[in-house]
Amino acid sequence: MRNIRLILAYDGTDFRGWQRQPGAPTIQGCLEDALRKLTGAPTSVCGSGRTDAGVHAEHQVANFHTESSIPCANFLKALNDLLPPTVRIKRAEEVPADFHARYHVLRKTYRYRIATAAVCSPLLCRYVCHHPYPLDRARMTVAAQLLEGEHDFTSFAAADENEDGDEKSCVRRIFRSRILWRPMSSILIYEVTGKGFLRYMVRNIVGTLLEVGGGKRAPEDISDILAARDRSCAGPTAPAQGLCLVNVEYAE
């Protein structure tokens, strides 16, 4: 039995997220359907995490086990022929039998893009949150840095459910949390790297940071929100289309 790792990218706009759902278009579902057509056998695909409906990925990682002898280079070409153009396999490679795309993750990086111009380009609208209001980036930077380290992120969770399938704890370690600015395109980016993330966690953080940037909250409020462990204390959930999984790292 071979273990094949896939690196893939996708536009999540037309999908109901990563995880297969009956009667709904999902990334996992279309991958498994393509592999069934290709190998002639039912195949289960495991992803590094379950991105939500409308969320994108530049670098998602998945793996599957197969008895097929198809070379990896042929898997890449054939899968891209079968998948919709909004899902692309960037690399296919054989890995050790015990590799697991989710359980072996060391860290993931997400970016949330916010278009601050008065008018949002129609070429960007599927991939950004349009927020044409003044934002104090310095205040947002201070607030973002307060999220670094190990904290209980219950206040930024959604219904005690998380992306990584572990509902016992909302404690997560954030290695980096920062604000980036792209003046040429008037794009503000929130970038966060962590071991794992609760469901809606990044989008709930962004909604709160937007309130900080707009003057509705002080940067120091982040510490109080974390300590409260109460979702109602944080800001609203930012729209899905601004969020993208940009990297997944493993020990090798």
Q: Summarize pLDDT for 112-130 with one digit per residue, the tens.
A: 999 999 999 999 999 999 9
Extract the tokens encoding 212: 């900080």
Distance CA(233)–CA(208), nearest Å, equals 9
Q: Which of 52, 81, 152, 224 is catalytic?
A: 52
pTM over 0.85: yes
* CB neighbours of residue 207 within 10 Å: 19
Which of 159, 211, 181 has its CA nearest to residue 222?
Answer: 211
pLDDT at 166 over 70: no
Query: Are domains 2-95 and 105-250 of this chain identical in fold?
Result: yes
What would the pLDDT profile of 30-87 be if each residue is shown by its tens digit? 999 999 999 999 999 999 999 999 999 999 999 999 999 999 999 999 999 999 999 9
Distances (CA, A) of 18 to 32, 98, 193, 241: 11, 22, 20, 14
Structure tokens at 182: 């792209």
Indicate left, alpha or beta for 180 from its phi (over 0: left) and psi (-120 to 50: alpha). beta
**14 labelled catalytic:** no
CATH of domain 2-95: 3.30.70.580
14 closest CA partner among 27, 23, 32:
27
Domain ranges of the chain: 2-95, 105-250
Output DSSP code: residue 237.
P
Class of domain 105-250: alpha beta
